[in-house]
Amino acid sequence: MVNAFPIAQLGEPVLRQPATLIEDSQAPWVQSLIDRLLVTLHQSNGVGIAAPQVAQSHRLFVVASRPNPRYPNAPLMNPTAMLNPRLISHTEDTVRDWEGCLSIPGIRGLVPRYSAIEVEYQTREGELHQQILEGFVARIFQHELDHLNGVVFLDRLESVQDIITDQVYLQRLQTPTPQAQKSIGS
């Protein structure tokens, strides 16, 4: 049986450290770290989680996009482990949208991210994979890649006024503002 990890919270130094490269994707400790990340992500209802968020400072995260009220068109993808991920290229334009973080509970921030990116990562089977990511999945990737560099979404905000509480965020979902309507359509 695989147990979930406790999730590191903002203020814990591990969230501010650059994570180290994984040299052998097939090492048993790497495979078991992936399994525990998957269980932890599932239990926390997140769409992504990075190894530093469970106090394991290694370059690995899991992306698990699925449709939700704010992104009804988000692709449903099997949770995918990405090892030693890299951003190869990106669009010039950025899109601002709300993000939360399992390590920063209770608030959301309006974060600019590249709208489309080309990425490279190793799969848990050890294969090198390149692909283009857009929209919601591109956003998750950039959020999780930041975690591997000791960066959290708060660092990306253009203004502290772009922070709202979860409670207000959820209220806005029920009565969409023009901003929210715009992002749902994109």
Distance CA 73, CA 60 (A): 26
Q: Which is nearer to Zn ion, 60 or 101 (CB)?
A: 101
Stretch that binds Zn ion, among 27-35, 55-63, 95-103, 113-121 (CB under 5 A): 95-103
Q: Which is nearer to Zn ion, 80 or 176 (CB)?
A: 80
Q: Does 54 bind Zn ion (CB under 5 A)?
A: no
Q: Is 62 in the site for Zn ion (CB under 5 A)?
A: no
CB of 103 to Zn ion, least distance (A): 5
Q: Which residue of the set 92, 118, 144, 158 is catalytic?
A: 144
Cα gap 85→117, rounded to integer Å: 12
Footprint (CB under 5 A) of Zn ion, residues 24-43: none
H or E segment and range at residue 137: helix 135-148
DSSP 38-102: HHHHHHHT-SEEEGGGGT--BSEEEE----BTTBTT------EEEEEEEEEEE-S-EEEEEE--T
- Say whether residue 101 binds Zn ion (CB under 5 A): yes
The reply to whether 144 belongs to the active site is yes
- The alpha carbon of 79 is separated from its chain's Cα centroid by a whole number of angstroms, namely 12
At 116 the three-state DSSP class reads: strand
- Choices 62-70, 96-104, 134-142, 162-170 (CB under 5 A): range interacting with Zn ion: 96-104
- Residue 88: CB partners within 8 Å, gap ≥ 6? 117, 118, 119, 120, 130
Q: Least distance to Zn ion from the beta carbon of 100, Å? A: 8
Binding part of the chain for Zn ion, among 2-10, 94-102, 126-134, 170-178 by CB under 5 A, reads: 94-102
Residues that bind Zn ion (CB under 5 A): 101
Active centre residues (catalytic): 144
